[in-house]
Amino acid sequence: MSVSELTLLVLRLGFLLVLWLFILGIVYALRSDLFGQRVRKQQQDAAASAPPLAFAAAVPTPVPAATLQPAAASATALTEQLTARPAAPPARSGPERATAKNATRLVITSGPKSGTEFPLTSDSVTIGRSGDSSLVIRDDYTSTHHARLMLWNEEWMIQDLDSTNGTFLNGSRLAVPTPVPLDTPVKIGATSFELRR
Amino acid sequence: MMPPSNSRGTATDAAQRPQGAKPVRVRRLHLPQKLRNLELFLLLIACGINAAAVVLVQLGALGHVDTTLVLLGAGLSVLVLCMHVVLRLVARDADPFILPIASLLNGIGIAMIYRIDIANGDAGWDSSAVRQTVWSALAIACAIAVLLIIRNHRVLFRYTYVAGFIAVVLLLLPLVPGLGREVSGARVWIGIGSFATFQPGEIAKIALAVFFAGYLVRNRDSLSMVGKRFLGMRFPRLRDLGPILVVWALSMSVIIFQRDLGTALLYFGLFLVMLYLATGRLSWVLLGMTLFLGGAVIASQTLEYVNGRFTNWLDALNPDVYGANGGSYQLVQGLFGLAKGGLIGTGLGQGRPDITPVPQSDYIIASLGEELGLAGLFAILALYLLFVARGFRIGFAGNDDFGKLLGVGLSFVVALQCFIVIGGVTRVIPLTGLTTPFLAAGGSSLVANWVIAALLLRLSDTLRNQPRLVI
């Protein structure tokens, strides 16, 4: 033997150590998958980039007047000035449901990036803090995999994925997958969005 | 006032204008090279560990380092780096962990096989390690071909029934007289002349996964929506039981005609899991497990070889069973080896794994357990865990049902195969002859598992959810 017992012992322990370091390295690289992305400090951004209320008010929200909160009421007033959308069909239970045909885009209506939008396709939209969500929302209130928008029989449904802080459709917390009406705010953490034509 | 039927553009403008009109931003994240660079980094570490394993084997068993290292270590490294370059070109968004993990498992396998060669005094073309390296080259070439040919997994959806047909043909091939070969009781090999033996069943599992995924996506509604509720579960209608009975009959015929318990369990388990995924109903799993356990119990009563496996498992340490022809000698030797390894093992090249029969293929886990110990064995299990988790991840993140089912099905095959082999070796379940994915000596298994890795890479590339907006 040209190698001493001690050297071999050190080498074999070193081998096991490197093997485990490799595994821990992979797990470390995976951490955003397992625990979600790092929360970004949002206070400054929010203050800097968006005067939120006025902006949110610019958003058309033709929801039935009976269910409106005061803030939203001013929103509708402003909206009607801006767009003069025909009032939602009266007496029907709320505004028209968003379907694959009539909803073409998702618009962020409040939060740091309000005003941004992206087009809807037939793919479902996953929402959460994890890096592979379609809509990544990085704030303290969003879960890693928070909610999902999907097409069910050509209709857009929103499903809460057991998130910690809940998903709110027009102010009420979701318990079951629910159809999303057009132009109705869905609130997740500090962000709201709407589906629009 | 705007007209009610305003177009998209003007509506946006209207919403933006009060703020001083920023243009519409559709931000996308582009991280492809970051992923590939991470992969390259991990791959280089994996190649380093592989080389270290071969060096340790030589130091432990021979006491010096010689040039075999160049062939074994560098050969595999060059191949996987080629595959990495191909990924950079054709699948930039593919998962960065699958390739390094597969390379590391393959390399550790080659080092262990080389160690057994040294103990048996094999060299040159007799050496299983050299053959394993050549098979690895072929397997990785196949994987690269899969990546180059299948640019989008939806192509496979079109060939659902062709895949099913191919699977059945591959399964039947070993039964063709003149072509089939019988090795240690199981008739699962084909061979031309005296060499080039191949296990078509290994490839069949990929074809089966494709077939099941396509079939279930097409037919899951009738399998999941209707049926009577009983004991808090919705059970399927009698006429919807067709598919599960067909697959059950298929795996029972594998047990009876090919005398291969492990493969039958693998196929049936794959079908059950994909059925559960597609329908989300526990009753299918319960039904299937009842069917399979019933079949296995009947087989253990009537078929002698199955009965023998059960006796070896339940009564392994009985001297009569241990000494009998076809008894538990191999199983118990493997257990002794694992016990000798202890917590940190005897060190590569310093144990006696060659005492166990077939230590380089079916029993490579026992060999590794002896020389790397519990710590090393758990590291290997952790690698499998990560590999399978990456596959499940595809099923979780993707938007396409066929791709989801296929990704989860393929990675579950790897997981189940690990469980069947390692469970058999460690006496958790009866021992059945399957190969440990990526590790064990055996060309067909290597080809099949590298093709699975390539398909998972392709799926993770096409199904990756690029964030459409980051807030």
Express each pLDDT in B272-286 by its tens digit.
999 888 887 888 888
Residue B290 has pLDDT above 50, yes or no: yes
Which range scores top for mean pLDDT: A47-56, B197-206, B245-254, B370-379?
A: B370-379
Q: Does B225 touch chain A (CB under 8 A)?
A: no
CB contact set of A168 (below 8 Å; sequence gap of 6+): A174, A186, A187, A188
Burial B342-366 (b: 16+ CB within 10 A, else e): eebbbbbbbbbbbebebbbbbbbbb
Cα-based distances in Å from B148 to A108, B10, B83, B88, B101: 39, 44, 11, 12, 21
Alpha carbon distance B352, B342 (integer Å)? 14
What integer pLDDT is reported at residue B107 of this predicted model? Answer: 92
Q: What is the pLDDT of residue B358?
A: 80
Q: Which of A137-141, B72-76, B141-145 has the highest mean pLDDT?
A: B141-145
The encoded tokens of residue B222 equal: 């009738």
Size of interface A-B (CB pairs under 8 A): 147
Identify which has the larger pLDDT, B24 or B9: B24
Mean pLDDT over all residues of chain B? 82
Low-confidence winner among A172-176, B228-232, B278-282 (lowest mean pLDDT): B228-232
The whole-number average pLDDT for the span B293-301 is 84
Mean pLDDT confidence for A56-74: 40
pLDDT, tens digit (0-9, with 9 covering 90-100), for B58-69:
888 888 887 776
Preferred mutation among A37, A117, A120, A186 to probe B, highest tally of B CBs within 10 A: A117
What strands lie across the sheet with A105-110, from one edge to the other? A117-119, A105-110, A191-196, A186-188, A167-169, A172-173
Lowest-confidence pick of A106-120, A168-182, B198-212, B237-251: B237-251
CA B5 – CA A184 distance, rounded (Å)? 18
Output the pLDDT for position B350: 85
Residue A37 has pLDDT above 60, yes or no: no
Task: Please write the tens of the pLDDT for every residue from B411-469.
Answer: 999 999 999 999 999 999 888 878 899 998 888 899 999 999 999 999 988 876 666 67
Please answer yes or no on whether B49 and A22 come within 8 Å at the CB atom.
yes
Backbone torsions φ then ψ of B118, nearest 5 degrees: -60, -45
Whole-angstrom distance, CA of residue B181 vs CA of residue B169 = 16
DSSP class of B169: H
Reduce the DSSP state of residue B209 to 3 states and report it. helix
Q: What is the pTM of this model?
A: 0.77
A26 contacts B101? CB cut-off 8 A:
yes
* Residues on chain B touching A58 (C-beta within 8 angstroms): 15, 18-19
pLDDT band at A79 (very low <50, low <70, confident <90, very high): very low
Considering only the beta carbons, identify the residue of B25, B350, B465 that sits closest to A134. B465
Highest mean pLDDT among B86-100, B241-255, B345-359: B86-100
In this predicted structure, what is the pLDDT of residue B238? 66
pLDDT digit string, tens, across residues B340-352 = 988 988 888 888 8
pLDDT tens-place string over residues B364-398? 999 999 999 999 999 999 999 999 999 888 877 76
Chain B residues closer than 8 Å to A13 by CB:
344
Q: Is the pLDDT score of B5 beyond 50?
A: no
pLDDT of residue B49: 92
Q: Which helix (H) or strand (E) holds B301?
A: helix B282-302
Q: Which residues of A touch B381 (CB under 8 A)?
A: none
